[in-house]
Structure 1
Amino acid sequence: MVLRVQQGDKLSDILMVVTASEIARTPLFISIDAENENLNALKMLFADKIKTQSEEVFVQEMDKYERVRTCSEKLSVKIYQKAAELGKYIATQTPLAEGRLELLHYVKEQSVTFEYHRYGSINEVPEI
């Protein structure tokens, strides 16, 4: 998963996203432009997760990530077009302080089912 930090994103929102990804144990990279005002603060906290990229480089490398998270809907058309081309969902909602709702962005929903007949499993053959 990658978090694309845009100009104007609040540091508190970025920290909520990083904290939520750590709680959910979802690997997260932070893609940020070199001129962003939050770069120095984020480098001090998460130097190993930072990727300093221009928007063009980020768009080219979007296929390397399974999911994309941002802190706002204010993205360029290029990012939306590339996501549509790759069939990727971009989570653009402002991060929520309510953990149960925010953590849904960081986990995959999976279901496991077992088929049983009313008299037992269909696949089981009784021994004679």
Structure 2
Amino acid sequence: MAKILVVDDAAFMRMTLKDILTKGGHEVIGEAENGEIAISKYDELKPDLVTMDITMPVMEGIDALKGIKAKHPGAKVIMCSAMGQQHMVVQAVSAGAKDFIVKPFNPDRVLEAVNKVVSS
């Protein structure tokens, strides 16, 4: 079981992801609606893993990923992107993301990515 921080500006997406992760045996220990909040929540909660949306207001996911990795080089982050954002996924991976999942979420794919990253 992993302790996970879910970051997405859409409450519905956070709820959907939380549901998938909880049913998959993980614990969602925090949520954030933008990258700025994500960085402070990471500092506070020290989760095992972060699911990070790419497109958000205030601070985008890739900037938040860089911010978290700068302070916590060992942080494990999985990026979430809508269809057709493949160029952003490449940026995210080069910034240190461990994997990415595409919206709309496929529960099996989400859990496969999370379990793989957590056990790595």
User: TM-score normalised by the shorter chain: which range applies?
Assistant: 0.3 to 0.5
Larger relative contact order, structure 1 or 2 (CA cutoff 8 Å, min sep 6): 1
TM score, norm. by length of structure 1? 0.43
**Structure with the larger helix share:** 2
**The structure with more radius of gyration:** 1
TM score, norm. by length of structure 2? 0.45
**Structure with the larger strand share:** 2
